[in-house]
Amino acid sequence: MSRIELSALRKNFGVTPVLADVDLEIASGEFCVFIGPSGCGKSTLLRLVAGLDEPSAGDISIDGRRVNELAPARRDIAMVFQSYALYPHMTVYENMAFGLRHLRLPKGEVDRRVQVASASLRLTELLERKPAALSGGQRQRVAIGRAIVRKPKVFLFDEPLSNLDASLRVKTRVEIARLHRELGEVSMIYVTHDQVEAMTLADKIVLLRPLEGREGVASIAQVGTPLELYHRPANLFVAGFIGSPSMNFFTATVAAAAAAEVRVAAGETPLRAAVSGEHLGAGVPVTIGIRPEHVCVGTGAMTGLVTHVERMGEHTYVYLDTPLCKQPIVAKTAPAAVGIGERIRFDLPAEALHLFHPDGRAAQRLLHEPEERWLATA
């Protein structure tokens, strides 16, 4: 088992607070991804779990045992660094075997573990090479293999793919996902700034955000499955951070609120949102959001002027100037012959709209059927 619990965790560097009130549970065998904007404390939180930094307050437990005072070597974890951290004068085999020899394991057991790990990561033919003779992707696989052979309870990854080119990132991401399935009960914590990595790898995403009014201090914005954060963001920050392109936002005023619907006016445009109107009344200013793929182009009573088009092959992003907001609304459509300067119709379906209270909290959405099905299988 490899359950991890963080309770009321805080970290200060000197008198400067960095992380505040982090409460988190990572189940045994779970793949948990830390993501957030630069400088929000993702790597610091990982280093606290690893024992490379000491918490200023709170507790860190692995399998029910408090490990705050334990050295990294005694926490039964293995860490894969962004920089690979391989010994340049050693072969691949020697790099992978080094930690096992330090533990004084029998030579036969060391060899068995290295051979099994190298076969799993397709490194067998590279065992006699030194790091300088390897590609970036091969070096990263060696770093992962060095962690695997130790058979730890917890794997920690600190932006392991950021030094690889796009095609290698995809291949190595698939390898890490396969490794997680094969290792079963071993928990993994993975730090990244890449949303694609987070959405495709994670069982659970922990999104960190800077605290308002406390510059340089971060805490957890939302924890959930990738699809929960995408379809049910807890607040305006989560909605704007998850998704690329970002969710479209514009301001509106509540015209009428009911249990299952809120009517708003965005400028002179009336809209309906299939959300709970609890704690909302007429005249309250709110923020409306909608994902680009939910903007219906070619139908509806609203019109927009095409100011930019991005043709991505299987789909197209269309940027529309509208009276709804100052910035263009982005719509994702099937490949279409849309030109800059055209005026086209579009619609914002009520069931696709998100609504955010003046303090940034999200109103509860009444999801339509496809989203409910995706969340049920997440």
Question: What pLDDT, in 10s, does the model give residues 245-286?
Answer: 999 999 999 999 998 899 999 988 999 999 999 889 999 999
Average of per-residue pLDDT across 308-315? 92
- The Cα–Cα gap between 70 and 316 comes to 53
The helix/strand/coil state of 248 is: strand
pLDDT score of 92 more than 80: yes
In 60-165, which ranges are continuous DSSP H helix? 92-102, 107-120, 136-148
Compute the CA torsion angle 72, 75, 77, 80 (nearest 10 deg): -10
Q: In this structure, are residues 348 and 221 in contact, taking their beta carbons and an 8 Å threshold?
A: no
Q: How far, CA to CA in Å, does 248 sit from each of 2, 231, 266, 276, 282?
A: 40, 14, 13, 20, 23
* Strand-strand pairing, 57-62 and 4-13: antiparallel
Q: What's the whole-model pTM score?
A: 0.89
Element (H, E) at 223: strand 218-224
Average of per-residue pLDDT across 115-127? 89
Range from 92-106, 171-185, 275-289, 306-320 carrying the lowest mean pLDDT: 171-185
Residue for token digits 């939180």? 45
pLDDT attached to residue 168: 79
Q: In this structure, are residues 9 and 22 in contact, taking their beta carbons and an 8 Å threshold?
A: yes
Residues in contact with 41: Cβ distance below 8 Å, sequence separation at least 6, in sequence order: 11, 18, 19, 208, 218
- The Cα–Cα gap between 176 and 192 comes to 13
pLDDT score of 368 more than 80: no
- The Cα–Cα gap between 217 and 42 comes to 12
Query: What is the total residue count of the chain?
Result: 378
Tell me phi and psi for residue 236, to 5 degrees. Answer: -65, -35
pLDDT digits (tens, 9 = 90+) for 27-83: 999 999 999 998 888 999 999 999 999 999 999 999 999 999 999 988 989 988 888
Q: How far, CA to CA in Å, does 89 sit from each of 94, 101, 125, 131?
A: 9, 17, 18, 8
- The Cα–Cα gap between 285 and 251 comes to 7
